[in-house]
Structure 1
Amino acid sequence: MVRQAFRKFLPLFEQVLLERSAAETVTKGGIMPPEKSQEKVLQAIVVTVGSGSKGKGGEIQPVTMKVGDKVLLPDYGGTKVVIDDKDYFLFRDGDILEKYVD
């Protein structure tokens, strides 16, 4: 059901659609910190990617991320997109700080 929504939404060029990871509401020690002290979640999972950007010679340079990659985001930036009442974020491929390697 959710996958069909992404077939209708395809980012252009070097854009990457991300789903932010959920904030931890309980620490490993079992403590529940108040919402104000919970930090903004900067980790996300790649949901879908664009086709890439044109290089100087006109060739397409593919996006370096692929669906399912876990990434680290900058503190600010991106564009919020709501699909099926769920929040997602669009970032340029070059704005993503890091890709986690398993």
Structure 2
Amino acid sequence: MSLKPLHDRVIVKRKEGETKTAGGLYIPDSAKEKPQAGTVVAAGPECETVKKGDSILFAKYAGSEFKMDGDDLVIMREDDILGVFA
């Protein structure tokens, strides 16, 4: 199944969170924070600053989470994106 975002919406796949601290301790799933970085999977036709494949940083509580084809994805407005990694 495919999903095409409308207007200025962007679909993002979050990067994997850290599983171990710098000191070597493993972080349980219940204590992990969700990463604020990800990769753009699809961008709507009105998006001007990002395109498919860009690595981005976005606001902590941005967008709506959903699951599609076994992947955890986030759909958000282009305004929720804080920056693009160069």
TM-score (norm 1): 0.73
Please, which of 13, 18, 23 is the counterpart of residue 17 of structure 2?
A: 23
Q: Aligned-pair distance for 1:31?
A: 2.4
RMSD, aligned CA: 1.7
Indicate the larger mover: 13-22 or 23-32.
23-32
Indicate the larger mover: 72-81 or 17-26.
72-81
Q: Give the structure with the larger strand fraction.
A: 2
Q: Give the structure with the larger helix fraction.
A: 1
Q: What is the total number of aligned residue pairs between the two structures?
A: 86
Q: How does 1:1-102 map to 2 (within 5 A)?
A: 5=1, 8-52=2-46, 62-101=47-86
* Identity within the alignment, %: 33
C-alpha separation between the residues in 1 aligned to 2:27 and 2:67?
Answer: 28
Is 1:46–1:69's contact at 8 Å kept on the other side of the alignment?
Answer: yes
Q: Quickly say closer, same or farther: Cα 1:15–1:22, change in 2 above 3 A.
A: same
Larger radius of gyration: 1
Is 1:49–1:63's contact at 8 Å kept on the other side of the alignment?
Answer: no
C-alpha separation between the residues in 1 aligned to 2:60 and 2:13?
Answer: 15
Contiguous gaps of at least 5 residues in structure 1: 53-61
Consecutive aligned runs of 4 or more in structure 1 exceeding 4 Å deviation: none
Amino acid at match of 1:95: D
C-alpha separation between the residues in 1 aligned to 2:38 and 2:48?
Answer: 16
Q: Deviations 1:46-85 (Å, cap 9, x if unpaired)?
A: 0011100xxxxxxxxx431111111111111201222113
